[in-house]
Amino acid sequence: MNITQEIGSRIRYYRTRQKISQEKLSEYSDLHPTYIGQLERGEKTPSIETLYKIARGLNISLVTLVEGIEDFAEPVDNFAYKSFRLIEQQTAKNQEYLYYILKQILEMEK
């Protein structure tokens, strides 16, 4: 995952966590709904002004939206961190399922 895809993933995460549609976020951030979708899919790279508008529309700080993003600047083989980020963006129920699946896999290796 590159920085653009990670930003898109974060936008989608915070938007869905708040149960806001892309259309509502576009209203809140004064951006076109199609553009929000392109950002979430990692197809467009947002400017800092766009990130600010989105953060404001999500009612989160810009820091919250981009915190730790430098970890995605270069390909990293830190699978623990990548796994954490992937799991973190799931619902609580899916996190629980993933935890138990991972635990069972690790117990099989003993």
For residue range 15-42, list pLDDT tens digits in order: 999 999 999 999 999 999 999 999 999 9
Residues 54 and 4 in one domain: yes
Domain region containing 39: 1-71
Per-residue model confidence (pLDDT) at position 2? 81
Residues 42 and 94 in one domain: no
Reply yes or no on whether the pLDDT at 3 is more than 90. no
Task: Return the amino acid letter for 101.
Answer: I
- Taking alpha carbons only, the member of 1, 27, 8 closest to residue 66 is 8
Alpha helices (H) along 1-110: 3-17, 22-29, 33-40, 48-58, 62-66, 79-88, 92-108
% of the chain exceeding 70 in pLDDT: 91
The C-alpha atoms of residue 62 and residue 60 are separated, in whole angstroms, by: 7
User: Which residues does 61 contact at the CB level (< 8 Å), separation at least 6?
Assistant: 55
Residue 51 belongs to domain with CATH number = 1.10.260.40
Q: What is the value of pTM for the model shown? A: 0.66
The pLDDT confidence band at residue 48, using thresholds 50, 70 and 90, is: very high
The whole-chain average pLDDT of the chain stands at 88
The C-alpha atoms of residue 18 and residue 13 are separated, in whole angstroms, by: 9
How many structural domains are present in the chain?
A: 2
